[in-house]
Amino acid sequence: MTEVPQHTLDDIERVNATGLTPVVFIHGLWLLPNSWDRWAQVFQAAGYAPITPGWPDDPETVAEANAHPEVMAGKTVGQVADHYAEVIGKLDKQPAVIGHSFGGLLAQIIAGRGLSNATVAIDSAPFQGVLPLPISTLRSASPILKNPANYSKAIPLTYEQFRYAFANAVNEEEAHQLYEEFAVPAPGAPLFQGAVANFNPWSEVKVDHENAYRGPMLIISGARDHTVPPAIVEANFKIQEKNSGVTEFASIPDRGHSLTIDSGWLEVANTALAFVQRFSER
C-alpha cells in the first residue's frame, strides 16, 4: 500500500469539511492531476466537492515530472487502483468517480469494487475481456511497448508521438500548447500489463463488471481517438451494459484522446456533469 501524500490528505480534509458529495478525478498516462483543474471548477460550481489525487509519487508540476521521471516509474495497475481505493476510503461520503484513459480503466475498477455512486469512464484503456486492438492503439503505445526494458521505466512522448496519440484532432498550434502544458513521462508497467491482459488469468487489468453494487456508469468515446478508438470503447460498453445497473454510452464527434484537456473540454465536462447530476446527490 502506498502512502497518501500530505497534500492529498489536506484535500480530503477540505472535501469532508464541505459536507458535499465528492467527485474524484483520475488521470491517465502522460498526464498529471492538473489536467483536471478546469473540470474541478465546473463541478465545484455545480455544488460538488472535487478532488484530483495523483497516482502514487506523482510530482506536483509538469516541470518537476519532466525533470525527474524516475519517481513515476514502476507503478502497476493494481498498485494505483489500491491507492485510489485508499483515498476514497478516507472520504466521508461515497464519491462520483471520473477517469480518462488509464484513469477510465481505474474508475471502472473502483466502480467494480462498489466504491463509487456514479462513474464516468472517458476513452478508457481496455480491461481483460475487451478484445479489439486497432493498429492506431499499437502505434500510440509503441513508444513504451517497443522496448521490454521500459516496463520498469517512465517514458516521455516526443511532440510527434503526442500529436498522433493525443492531439490528432486539433490544429498544430493547439497541439504544441497542449504538449507544453500537460505532457509528462508515463510509467511503462500499465501498458505492458494491458497488452497481455487477455492472456494472463492473474492480470491486474480486471474489472468486476458484474457487481450489482457497481452503480450507474457512463462510457464516453472520442470519435477520432487514436489511442483508444471507438472500437475499444464500444466493446467496453457492451460488456458493462450487461450489469444490472444503469450503463450509458456517449460519443463525442471529431475528438481525439486530448478531449479532456483541449479547447473542447467543456463539452465533455458538461456531458459527464449531466450524468453525475442525475445519479449523485450534492
- Give the domain CATH number at 26: 3.40.50.1820
pLDDT of residue 3: 85
Instruction: List pLDDT tens digits, range 51-73.
Output: 999 999 999 999 999 999 999 99
Number of structural domains found in the chain: 1
- Chain position carrying cell 491482459: 197
Q: Which has the closest alpha carbon to 56: 37, 25, 83, 91?
A: 83
Q: Report if residue 268 sits inside a domain.
A: yes
Domain that holds residue 173: 6-279
State the burial class of residue 249 (Cβ atoms within 10 Å of its Cβ: 0-12, 13-18, 19+).
middle
Phi-psi region of 191 (alpha: psi -120 to 50; beta: other; left: phi over 0): alpha
Q: Report if residue 1 sits inside a domain.
A: no
pLDDT of residue 1: 62
Q: Report if residue 204 sits inside a domain.
A: yes
Q: Report if residue 138 sits inside a domain.
A: yes
Instruction: List pLDDT tens digits, range 270-280.
Output: 999 999 999 98
Could you give the angle at the alpha carbon of 208 between the alpha carbons of 204 and 209, nearest 5°?
A: 130
Instruction: List pLDDT tens digits, range 226-245.
Output: 999 999 999 999 999 999 99
pLDDT < 70 regions, the chain: 1
Q: Report if residue 161 sits inside a domain.
A: yes
pLDDT of residue 94: 97
Q: Report if residue 25 sits inside a domain.
A: yes
Q: Which has the closest alpha carbon to 257: 137, 108, 143?
A: 137
Q: Report if residue 230 sits inside a domain.
A: yes
- The pair phi, psi for residue 262, each rounded to 5°, is -85, -175
What CA–CA distances, in Å, run from 201 to 18, 129, 198, 212, 281? 42, 11, 7, 23, 38
Q: pTM here? A: 0.97
Q: Report if residue 151 sits inside a domain.
A: yes
- Contacts of residue 31, defined as CB under 8 A and 6 or more positions apart, other chains included, come to 100, 101, 182, 183, 184, 261
The answer to whether 217 and 241 have CB atoms below 8 angstroms apart is no
Q: At residue 124, what is the residue type? A: S
